[in-house]
Structure 1
């Protein structure tokens, strides 16, 4: 996945953050995943329209992409289900994830366009456990 595609997937409510990252050549998900809290605060100081919540979501999506190879839309889905870090993913089970995704789809009355199977969820949780244990 190239860097422009990574930022292009973001919804319109991320337009200010996206514009800031493009302007400052921070379009690579590897760079975005390495942003520290200090870096995020600096971005917010430089561009008042960038929100802390959106910046942290972008970083979390980039970390999921980099560490577990989860596509940005799938990572965004995890965020909406309350899974915002490798640690929280490692502490859940594939059954819980499946239930959370189903609940989200029912509450939104929408079927997600991602091809997430139970085997995929199992792989994500296993990989998150490996990463979390190695930290």
Structure 2
């Protein structure tokens, strides 16, 4: 069995977006993270089954992966906690993130599969601040 590609980390409700990206050879992390709002709207026009919300999530996760080196499942967790950009991550504190993740886990009544420690949260925020300053 081959290694997983970036798009393989997305659940089945992203099947239309994954299919579009595969058909159009948009599987490169660099290309996905650089999609503009215009590009996302054009994709939705070409493939109406793709939702703008899912396209934006894929782009945000690609940016987190590329810029801050956060795995797709962890980036998806941040999105579900309301952290949707490098800027919002850089303005957060580890305590806020820990509370948001805990709140999400309690509301969903599940424990996240990845081991997210306080030190890891600090590392993400530090990298996000470095990336945000370089913009």
Q: TM-score, normalised by structure 2?
A: 0.96
Structural RMSD (CA): 1.3
Distance 1:4 1:110 in 2: 25
Distance 2:36 2:48 in 1: 18
Distance 1:94 1:37 in 2: 30
Unpaired segments of 5 or more residues in structure 1?
Answer: none
Equivalent residue, structure 2, for 1:118: 118
Equivalent residue, structure 1, for 2:134: 134
Three-state SS of the structure 1 residue aligned to 2:21 is helix
Q: Which runs of 4+ in 1 moved over 3 A?
A: none
State the shift of 1:3 in Å. 8.6
Are 2:88 and 1:88 equivalent residues in the alignment?
yes
Distance 1:76 1:3 in 2: 20
Task: Give the alignment of 1:28-107 within 5 angstroms.
Answer: 28-107=28-107
Tell me the number of residue pairs that the alignment of Structure 1 and Structure 2 aligns: 134
State the shift of 1:130 in Å. 1.1
Three-state SS of the structure 1 residue aligned to 2:112 is coil
